[in-house]
């Protein structure tokens, strides 16, 4: 499985495309496209590699991660998939955009398919395991690919930092528990692909993250 990262929007959010090979399948995680050129960047990669989109997954439904989800899912005829407790945040997409002064078209987002702890997505001969990692938002999910030794964490943990907990449904204690029980228990060489910034590893965050 290949993983490509695309950094976009004013928040420097990382959108990830998991894909097999040219002419194969792909999964898009956190399509936060706010501008036409960002949409073009993602569709050019998908169409240029002749990929078939199988899933649009959201780690959580904050506007910087989810504002392009409905557009992308509609374009490729798939569902928007996220955690159940993200529904209330998804519905507030226009209010989120207004709160940050974003001049973008936004409508309330409806989650088409609910993902929960223990769900497994079969993809490219691998299994992607769904982990519930709340704290940054109430229904935050992480997507763990053990065969590729990578976990996509959204805004749960970053290189030497953690996600903010002052937004709706956030909790510092819950976030720390999620990180320690769900992420730091993974093999040390597991690559953490965060929602912002560079990749890191479980081993490095155990040693260098001052919050942990």
**Confidence band for 106, pLDDT divided at 50, 70 and 90:** confident
Write out the residue range of the structural domain in which residue 40 sits: 2-208
The total of structural domains in the chain comes to 1
Q: What angle do CA 167, 38, 6 make, to 5 degrees?
A: 75
CA pair distance 76, 26, nearest whole angstrom: 11
Using pLDDT thresholds of 50, 70 and 90, give the confidence band for residue 105.
confident
Q: What are phi and psi of 47, to 5 degrees?
A: -70, -35
52 membership: H or E segment, kind and range: strand 52-57
Q: Which residues 6+ apart lie within 8 Å of 51 measured at CB?
A: 17, 19, 22, 23, 24, 25, 26, 45
List strands edge to edge, sheet with 13-19.
2-8, 13-19, 25-29, 52-57, 80-83, 113-115
Q: pLDDT tens for residues 123-181?
A: 999 999 999 999 999 999 999 999 999 999 999 999 999 999 998 899 999 999 999 99
Whether residue 3 contacts residue 17, with contact meaning beta carbons closer than 8 Å, is answered with: yes
* pTM attached to this predicted model: 0.97
What does the pLDDT look like over 170-181, one tens digit per residue? 999 999 999 999
pLDDT of residue 2: 97
Residue the block writes with tokens 């398919």:
113
The model's pLDDT over 42-58, given as tens digits with 9 standing for 90+, comes to 999 999 999 999 999 99
**What CATH number did the domain enclosing 94 receive?**
3.60.15.10
Mapping DSSP to helix (H, G, I), strand (E, B) and coil, where does residue 129 land? Answer: strand
Kindly state the average pLDDT of the residues 94-106.
91
The share of the chain scoring above pLDDT 90, in percent, equals 97
Half-sphere exposure of 59 (CA within 13 A, CB side): 29
């Amino acid at each position: 499985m290949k993983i490509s990262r695309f950094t976009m929007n004013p928040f420097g959010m990382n959108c990830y495309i998991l894909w097999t090979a040219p002419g194969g399948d792909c999964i898009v995680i956190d399509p936060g496209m706010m501008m036409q050129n960002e949409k073009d960047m993602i569709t050019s990669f998908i169409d240029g590699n002749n990929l078939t989109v199988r899933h649009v997954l959201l780690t959580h439904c904050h506007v910087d991660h989810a504002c392009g989800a409905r557009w992308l899912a509609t374009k490729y005829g798939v569902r928007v998939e996220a955690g159940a407790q993200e529904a209330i945040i998804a519905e507030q997409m226009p209010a989120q955009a207004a709160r940050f002064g974003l001049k973008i078209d936004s409508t309330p987002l409806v989650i088409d398919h609910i993902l929960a702890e223990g769900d497994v997505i079969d993809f490219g001969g691998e299994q992607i395991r769904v982990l519930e990692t709340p704290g940054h938002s109430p229904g935050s999910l992480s997507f763990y690919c053990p065969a590729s030794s990578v976990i996509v964490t959204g805004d749960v943990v970053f290189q030497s930092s953690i996600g903010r907990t002052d937004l709706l449904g956030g909790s510092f204690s819950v976030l720390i528990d999620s990180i320690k029980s769900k992420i730091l228990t993974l093999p040390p060489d597991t690559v953490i692909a965060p929602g912002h910034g560079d990749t890191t590893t479980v081993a490095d965050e155990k040693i260098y993250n001052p919050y942990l």
